[in-house]
A and B are shown apart, each in its own frame.
Chain A
Amino acid sequence: MQVLEIITANIDLLALLFLLLFIVFFVLFTYRAKKGARVHLRQNRLYARLLNLAAQAVETGKPIHLGMGIGSLSGGIGPNVGTAESFIALTVFATLADRARGAVRPLLGTTADGTVLAAALGIVHRRNAQNGQAGLALNKAVRFYGPDPLAYAAGVRQTLAGEKPLANVLLGQLGAEGLWIAETNIKNTPAQLGGTTPPASSALLAVSLDQMVIGEDVFAAGAYLGRIAHLGSLVTQDLMRVVIILSILVGVILASLGYWV
């Protein structure tokens, strides 16, 4: 029996084994990170600048705009759903809100999805309650602009022109509307940063933003912005990448020897 046939016949079992291995490493490294084990992070200029901008937001009183994109938390299957990217956008939103605590208006979040809006409003409400400002208007911090890329881009464009924030950060699930927002906003904000995962949108944003992250670096945001628990998951991610690389190498050898047809 050929290797390919065996793999095809047991694909669900292999996926489950991969996930179980992932979970074991995840729990182990997250536990170690929480206990204070040292994790070496390479330099990432975008996240370093984000932390710097959070400090500047406190000093200047100007907000940072965080465009969380068109992704949704309501799930589904497909490349454009952006659930994981939206979770990361919310992580960045919460972390920057913590970092810029003390600022009059640290953040201005925008989204094209109602579930992301609800989660972001929850974050703002919790921070306001912790600061003894539970009565503050929530809609000043997070805004919704229609469940559609065109409506979202037009709304964000208008908001940026009116608010003139300290920086425009576009991080999450973004398509071509990311380029539209960034290019029409050059004169309104001194810094434009961000990141997204679809390869086609990444290419468009790369020419327009000052600094950006692509692919898996988007998911490393929490670890770089100081979330200790995320360090463990980042190590797991790197380790599982090595597992995938080794699997590819084994596949290449088997194919070369004629066992993989």
Chain B
Amino acid sequence: MNRILSLAVAVVCGVIVLLDFFIPGPETAVASRILVEGVTILAVFGLLLGLLNLLAVHSQRLVKGEERRGLSGVLILGMLGALIVGIVAPASPANRWVFDHLYAPLQSSMTALLAFFAISAAYRALRIRNIDALILLVISLFMLFTQLPFGQTLWPELSAIRDWLLAIPVTAGIRGILLGVALGTITTALRVLLAVDRPYLGE
């Protein structure tokens, strides 16, 4: 019974939202809005579940005295600290300080490291792999060269070649990928909507 009810709820909800998209009307609009708002509320409960999961994993590690338990302790303290400050004083300077002076610099560092990771990965790929890696490297170096100021001086037609590369082959490739992704997304949605896939039943 639970199974049939879950299936029916999932299919009916999906059909209502789809109907509202194609045949907009006051009744479907209200029903669709309620459903979409319901999803947002459920997502918040999902986040709460996530926090409990994080707390369970790291407190177990701390209690059992596993390797790297110190880092787990720091994580739990940081999580609870940010949570308490956020609940008690959401608009306080302390809450803002955590994001401005801890979180933002960490995020910037991660972004800055990406350039080095990309270079090390490309180097490794070139050493051990195939012709694909070579093509990737040659095109990357060429595109990098076209962005340099002295490149234009050395070869005035360079900007026209770069613009052509970006407008024709690169755009064609990206549009091809995006069309494929769109088809895949529709297929995945239909599988859930027509109950071929039932992730809400743990299947």
List residues of A whose CB falls within 8 A of some B CB.
12, 15-16, 19, 22-23, 26-27, 30, 72-75, 84, 87-88, 90-91, 94, 113-119, 121-123, 125-127, 139, 142-147, 150, 153, 158, 161-162, 176-177, 179-180, 182-184, 186, 197, 199, 202, 204, 206-208, 214-220, 222, 229-230, 233-234, 236-237, 240-241, 244
With A126-B202, A179-B114 known to touch, is A229 a contact of B196 (CB < 8 Å)?
yes
Cβ B179 vs Cβ A75 within 8 A: no
- 6 pairs of A and B residues whose beta carbons are closest in the complex: A114-B46, A219-B184, A216-B180, A126-B202, A144-B50, A74-B43
In the complex, per-residue mask of B186-203: 1 if CB is within 8 Å of any chain A CB, else 0: 111111101011011111
Could you name 9 residue pairs across A and B whose Cβ atoms are closer than 8 Å?
A: A19-B22, A74-B39, A90-B199, A114-B48, A144-B51, A199-B178, A207-B124, A207-B125, A219-B184
The verdict on B8 contacting chain A, using a C-beta distance below 8 Å, is no
A218 CB, min distance to chain B CBs, angstroms: 7
Majority secondary structure, A binding face: helix
Cβ A180 vs Cβ B110 within 8 A: yes
**How far apart sit A27 and B195, CA to CA, in the bound complex (Å)?**
11
Cβ A144 vs Cβ B53 within 8 A: yes
Cβ A179 vs Cβ B106 within 8 A: no
In the complex, chain B residues 88-124 whose Cβ is within 8 Å of any chain A Cβ: 103, 106-107, 110-111, 113-114, 117-118, 120-122, 124
List residues of B whose CB falls within 8 A of some A CB.
22, 36, 39-40, 42-51, 53-54, 56-57, 60, 66-68, 71, 103, 106-107, 110-111, 113-114, 117-118, 120-122, 124-125, 133, 136, 173-174, 176-181, 183-192, 194, 196-197, 199-203
B76 CB, min distance to chain A CBs, angstroms: 13
**How far apart sit A42 and B71, CA to CA, in the bound complex (Å)?**
46
**How far apart sit A150 and B114, CA to CA, in the bound complex (Å)?**
12
Nearest residue (CB) in B for A140 is B57
A105 CB, min distance to chain B CBs, angstroms: 14
**Knowing that A94-B199, A125-B202, A184-B117 are A-B contacts, what are 14 other residue pairs whose CB atoms are under 8 Å apart, sorted by A's residue number?**
A12-B22, A15-B22, A19-B22, A22-B190, A87-B199, A118-B46, A122-B202, A126-B203, A143-B53, A162-B66, A207-B121, A207-B133, A215-B180, A240-B186
A162 CB, min distance to chain B CBs, angstroms: 6
